[in-house]
Structure 1
Amino acid sequence: MAPRFTVTYFIRAQDAAEAKARALDIALEQTVEIPRNAVPKGYVEDEILGRLEALEKDLNGREGYLASISYSEDDVGGDFLQFLNIVFGNSSIKPGLRVEDILPSPGILELCKGPRHGLAGLRARAGIGESPLLMSAIKPVGLSTSALARLAGDFALGGMHFIKDDHGLVDQKTAPFAERLKACVEVVGEANSRSGGKASFVPNVTGPANAVLDRAKEAEAAGAGAVMVAPALAGYDVVRTLAADPEFALPIVTHPAFSGANVVSPDGGFSHRAYFGTLHRLMGADAVIYPNFGGRFGFTRKECLSIAKACAADMGGPKAIVAAPGGGMTFERVPEMREAYGRDVMYLVGGALLQESNLVDACRRLVAAVDPKGD
Structure 2
Amino acid sequence: MSPKDYVVAEYYIESNLPLLKAGIEIAKEESIGTWTKVYTLTESAKRLAGKVFKVDEEVRKVWVAFPVELFDIEYGGVSNILSIVAGNLFGLSKLENVRLLDIHIPEKICKKFPGPRFGIENIRKLIGTNREKRPHIGTIIKPKVGLNPDETAKVAYEVAIGGIDFIKDDETLVNQKFCPLEERVSKVMEALDKAREETGRQVLYAVNVSASTPYTLIELVDQALENGANMLMIDAVVTGIPMLQMLAEDPMINVPIHVHRAMHAAFTRNKRHGIRMVVLAKLIRLAGGDQLHVGTAGIGKMEADVRETLDARDALLKDINGIRKTFPVASGGLHPGLIPSLLKVFGVDAVFQFGGGCHGHPDGPRAGALAIRQAIEACMRGISLKEYAETHPELRKALETWSS
Shift of 1:257: 0.9
The aligned residue for residue 66 of structure 1 is 62
The aligned residue for residue 195 of structure 1 is 199
The aligned residue for residue 31 of structure 1 is 31
The aligned residue for residue 401 of structure 2 is none
Separation (CA, whole Å) in 2 of partners of 1:58 and 1:270: 20
Shift of 1:57: 3.2
Assess if the C-alpha contact under 8 Å between 1:252 and 1:287 holds in 2.
Answer: yes
The aligned residue for residue 169 of structure 2 is 165
Q: Which amino acid aligns with 2:288?
A: G
Shift of 1:191: 0.7
Assess if the C-alpha contact under 8 Å between 1:27 and 1:51 holds in 2.
Answer: yes
Alignment gaps of 5+ in structure 2? 383-404
Distance 1:82 1:213, change over 3 A: same
| Match of residue 218, structure 1, among 217, 223, 236 | 223
Assess if the C-alpha contact under 8 Å between 2:127 and 2:203 holds in 1.
Answer: yes
Deviations 1:319-371 (A, max 9, x none): 21111010010122111111111101000111111111232232122112124
Separation (CA, whole Å) in 2 of partners of 1:267 and 1:69: 21
Shift of 1:279: 2.1
Which stretch of structure 1 is more off in the superposition, 93-102 or 160-169? Answer: 93-102
The aligned residue for residue 49 of structure 2 is 49
Separation (CA, whole Å) in 1 of partners of 2:14 and 2:332: 31
Separation (CA, whole Å) in 2 of partners of 1:195 and 1:93: 56
Shift of 1:248: 1.5
The aligned residue for residue 143 of structure 1 is 147
Assess if the C-alpha contact under 8 Å between 1:13 and 1:65 holds in 2.
Answer: no
- Is 1:368 the equivalent of 2:368? no
RMSD, aligned α-carbons: 2.1
Assess if the C-alpha contact under 8 Å between 2:102 and 2:276 holds in 1.
Answer: yes
| Match of residue 76, structure 1, among 72, 79, 97 | 72
Q: Percent identity?
A: 23
Q: Which amino acid aligns with 1:72?
A: V
TM-score norm. by structure 1 comes to: 0.92
The aligned residue for residue 309 of structure 1 is 314
Assess if the C-alpha contact under 8 Å between 1:230 and 1:255 holds in 2.
Answer: yes
Alignment gaps of 5+ in structure 1? none
Separation (CA, whole Å) in 2 of partners of 1:45 and 1:166: 48
Larger Rg: 2
Shift of 1:36: 5.4
Shift of 1:235: 1.5
Distance 1:3 1:302, change over 3 A: closer
Assess if the C-alpha contact under 8 Å between 1:11 and 1:67 holds in 2.
Answer: no
Separation (CA, whole Å) in 1 of partners of 2:45 and 2:292: 37
Deviations 1:228-267 (A, max 9, x none): 1111211210001111222212111111112211201112
Shift of 1:77: 5.1
Separation (CA, whole Å) in 2 of partners of 1:268 and 1:106: 28
Which stretch of structure 1 is more off in the superposition, 100-109 or 227-236? Answer: 100-109
Q: Which amino acid aligns with 2:84?
A: I
Shift of 1:125: 1.2
Give the SS at the match of 2:37: helix
Assess if the C-alpha contact under 8 Å between 2:31 and 2:70 holds in 1.
Answer: no
Assess if the C-alpha contact under 8 Å between 2:73 and 2:109 holds in 1.
Answer: no
The aligned residue for residue 92 of structure 1 is 90
Assess if the C-alpha contact under 8 Å between 1:297 and 1:327 holds in 2.
Answer: yes
Distance 1:280 1:75, change over 3 A: closer
Assess if the C-alpha contact under 8 Å between 1:118 and 1:286 holds in 2.
Answer: yes
Separation (CA, whole Å) in 1 of partners of 2:125 and 2:36: 53
Assess if the C-alpha contact under 8 Å between 1:156 and 1:199 holds in 2.
Answer: yes
Give the SS at the match of 2:7: strand
- Is 1:297 the equivalent of 2:302? yes
Distance 1:102 1:243, change over 3 A: same
Shift of 1:316: 2.2
Assess if the C-alpha contact under 8 Å between 1:27 and 1:49 holds in 2.
Answer: yes
Distance 1:115 1:374, change over 3 A: farther
Assess if the C-alpha contact under 8 Å between 1:3 and 1:106 holds in 2.
Answer: no
The aligned residue for residue 269 of structure 2 is 264
Number of residue pairs matched? 367
Assess if the C-alpha contact under 8 Å between 2:294 and 2:313 holds in 1.
Answer: no
Separation (CA, whole Å) in 2 of partners of 1:301 and 1:103: 21
Q: Which amino acid aligns with 2:190?
A: E
The aligned residue for residue 391 of structure 2 is none
Assess if the C-alpha contact under 8 Å between 1:329 and 1:348 holds in 2.
Answer: yes
Q: Which amino acid aligns with 2:20?
A: K
Assess if the C-alpha contact under 8 Å between 1:54 and 1:69 holds in 2.
Answer: no
Q: Which amino acid aligns with 2:22?
A: R
Shift of 1:294: 3.0
Separation (CA, whole Å) in 1 of partners of 2:109 and 2:219: 27
The aligned residue for residue 5 of structure 2 is 3
Distance 1:75 1:289, change over 3 A: closer
Deviating above 6 A after TM superposition, structure 1's stretches of 4 or more consecutive aligned residues are none
